[in-house]
Every structure is written in C-alpha cells, then in structure tokens.
Structure 1
Amino acid sequence: MNALTISLEPIIELTDEKLFQLCQQNRDLRFERGAQGDITIMAPEGSDTGMRNLGLGSSLWNWNQRKNLGVAFGSSAGFILPNGAMRSPDVSWIKKERWEALTPEQQSKFAPICPDFVIELMSPSDSLSLTQAKMQEYQDNGARLGWLINRRDRQVEIYRIGQPVEILQSPDFLSGEEVLPEFVLDLALIW
C-alpha cells in the first residue's frame, strides 16, 4: 500500500470532527493523523494482506466473545491518542471498563483513547521504520501490548510498556500474556 503524507497546517485546522468528516466523505481511502497534524493518506490494502488481517481480527474477536473482557476492532476503526494523533491499527482491543467509560458519542466517532492492545501487519510496501515508530507511539500513549508482524522477514516485534522491544524470529504462536489472558495467536494463519 502506497501512502502519501501531507501537511495542512497552518492552512487548514483539521479538528477531530473535521477529520472524521473527511474520512466519511472518502471511504475508499484510509487516513491517519500524526501528533504534529500531518495527514497520511493510504490506499486500501492488498487482498492478501486484507485476508490475513481478517484472520488476525477473527482470532481476537473469537477469543473476546468467549472471555467478554473488552471490545475488539478491525483496521477501519480510528482512535485519537493522548498525543493528538489519530491512528487506525490493523487490529486492536480495549478493556471493557475503559471502553464503557467513554460516552456513546465518543464511541461513535474516533474514540479518544489508546487501545490496550494493537497489531500492525506489515504490507509488502510498508516501511519498517515508519511502522516501528507507529508501534512506539502506541506504547508511549498507553498501549500495554503490541505486535508488529513482518511477514517478509518472518519476524514479530513485541512492544510492552517499560520494556525493550522483543524480537522473535519465525514464532509459531504468540501469547496475549496478562493483557489478553489465554489468548494465543496461531501464526500459521499469517506466514
């Protein structure tokens, strides 16, 4: 997926509400906003990546249906992080109590919350350094656990608060640890 980053500031102040409206008017594109206000416009993902993202999301969704501990989201959900960025992780999850603390209006747009758990599955055209920076941003804004899955190199980077990034080479499974109790992702779906 090719991405284009533009800066609209100071020409246009793109508030959270205006950004939401822009996204609603351009549903064939994916938008993210960086903490400095820069807008990244991304084309829809390729079919192969989309299939694998659905598998990731389905695995999390099924676990969450059994455990009922929170709310799971796919790649079209946007979140306003504490630093002002609006991000749309490929897969994410928020603990039930945190989600229910938001108003219905907040839940209906780009929720002002950082997910507890995020997954980014790299597309063939994604930049590793930009995706790593995004994962670090999630962690800096409160994500308790994050997985960056790099299919090309068969590598997974695990992001945890207060710990260095752990890199796994060709793992078969990933554990949700204490953030997602008893959640195990079979990476045969991804590799």
Structure 2
Amino acid sequence: MTTVLNLDALTRSLTREQFIGLCQSNPDLQLERSQQGELIIVSPVGGESGNREATLITKVGIWNEQTQLGYVFSSSTIFSLPEGGDRSPDVAWVAKPRWQALSPAERETFPPICPDFVIELRSRSDRLQPLQAKMQEYLASGLRLGWLINPQDQQAEIYRPNKAVEVLQLPAPLSGEDVLPGFALVL
C-alpha cells in the first residue's frame, strides 16, 4: 500500500537534493515523489509479493548475467526521472551505455535517468490506478518497455512508447522484445 502525504507547497518545492536528504534522514521509510511533487510512503509488502518480486529480479538478473547488456536494480533504487518524479520500480534495467554515461556521483545517488525497462508488481494492498499513473510517468520520462503485473486481476499490462497499453490475461508469455532481446517470462 502507498500513502500520499499532502504537504502541498512544501513537497512540490523540494529540490532533488532536498528529496535525497529527506530520504537519507529517514532511512526506515521507503519514499517516492510523483511527477506532481506528491511525497509517497511505500509500505513494505507481504511474503507472497516479496517472493514474486525476488523471483522477477532473479530472472531478469540471470538473463542480464548471460547477455551483459546492462544493469539490474531492485525496488530499493530510486531513479530521479527526467520529467520530475523520483521513483523506485520493483525491477529495473538500464542498458550498459546509458548507465556508463552517468558520472560516478550520479550513479552513487538517485540516478538521474529513466530505466529502459521496469516491472511493477501489484501487491494485495496496492490500488491499480496509482500504479498505472506511475507507469505513465516512466513512459513520459523515456521508458522503452514496462510491465505492470497484476496478480489480483490475473492480468499483465504492457507499456511501450507511443502505443496503447496492451492488457494480457494471465497466464501469458511476456517478451523482452528488442529492449531485453531473448528474454521471456511466462506468468
């Protein structure tokens, strides 16, 4: 479950550096910031969701280990998106040349880049609409492929730039397409 703190002008005027400082001052909270400046507290997930997330990270990680095409990130990584949000996808992947183009300081903090690929996994306490809005934020910031996996409704939503969202009923195979060449996942 996510909680949005309505601090109006306070959070909307936070600079990226101030947001990073806020996160560092509150290490027990997992915080995000929407493109509109809303401060979001992300609650921990239960065992089933945590296991699903770990499985997804492992599968993307194994594919990446074999291909050496980029870098895989967990939900603990916050990306400072080019269009203004500071978001932490459940699984993220960035192509090697894009990651290596960042300075060491940029890599060390909240990387100022949108992942090429993300997976958001809806937990039992998550509302669907905020996750869909989050996926649209990724697209607006340069996402090349995204999956919103929704076990509650037995669906997966596929997000691609300049295309309508594709909704698949589960079980269904998902393809990494040209973003993660050769990667496939059957849910």
Alignment of 1:128-167 (within 5 A): 128-167=128-167
**Structure 2: segments with no counterpart, 5+ residues:** none
Label 1:12 to 1:80 Cα distance change in 2 as closer, same or farther (>3 A).
Answer: closer
Q: Aligned-pair distance for 1:21?
A: 2.2
Q: Secondary structure at the match of 2:113?
A: coil
Label 1:87 to 1:12 Cα distance change in 2 as closer, same or farther (>3 A).
Answer: closer
Q: Secondary structure at the match of 2:84?
A: coil
Q: Aligned-pair distance for 1:7?
A: 2.5
Alignment of 1:161-180 (within 5 A): 161-180=161-180
What letter is aligned with 1:115? Answer: P
The corresponding residue for 1:100 is 100
Give the Cα separation in 1 of the matches to 2:73 and 2:59.
12
Alignment of 1:65-76 (within 5 A): 65-76=65-76
The corresponding residue for 1:34 is 34
Tell whether 2:65 aligns with 1:46: no
What letter is aligned with 1:98? Answer: R
Q: Secondary structure at the match of 2:44?
A: coil
Q: Aligned-pair distance for 1:181?
A: 0.4
Give the Cα separation in 2 of the matches to 1:127 and 1:183.
28
Give the Cα separation in 2 of the matches to 1:36 and 1:158.
23
Contact 1:28 1:43 in 2 (8 A): no
Q: Aligned-pair distance for 1:69?
A: 0.3
The corresponding residue for 1:62 is 62
Give the Cα separation in 2 of the matches to 1:106 and 1:97.
14
Contact 2:33 2:87 in 1 (8 A): yes
What letter is aligned with 1:73? Answer: F
Q: Secondary structure at the match of 2:60?
A: helix
Q: Aligned-pair distance for 1:6?
A: 2.5
Q: Secondary structure at the match of 1:147?
A: strand
TM score, norm. by length of structure 1: 0.92
Label 1:11 to 1:19 Cα distance change in 2 as closer, same or farther (>3 A).
Answer: closer
Alpha-carbon RMSD across the aligned residues, in angstroms, is: 1.5
Label 1:163 to 1:2 Cα distance change in 2 as closer, same or farther (>3 A).
Answer: closer
Give the Cα separation in 1 of the matches to 2:102 and 2:4.
32
Give the Cα separation in 2 of the matches to 1:25 and 1:161.
36
**Structure 1: segments with no counterpart, 5+ residues:** none
The corresponding residue for 1:88 is 88
Aligned-pair identity (%): 50
Contact 2:79 2:112 in 1 (8 A): yes
Q: Aligned-pair distance for 1:2?
A: 4.2
Deviations 1:111-143 (A, max 9, x none): 000000010000111111111111111111110
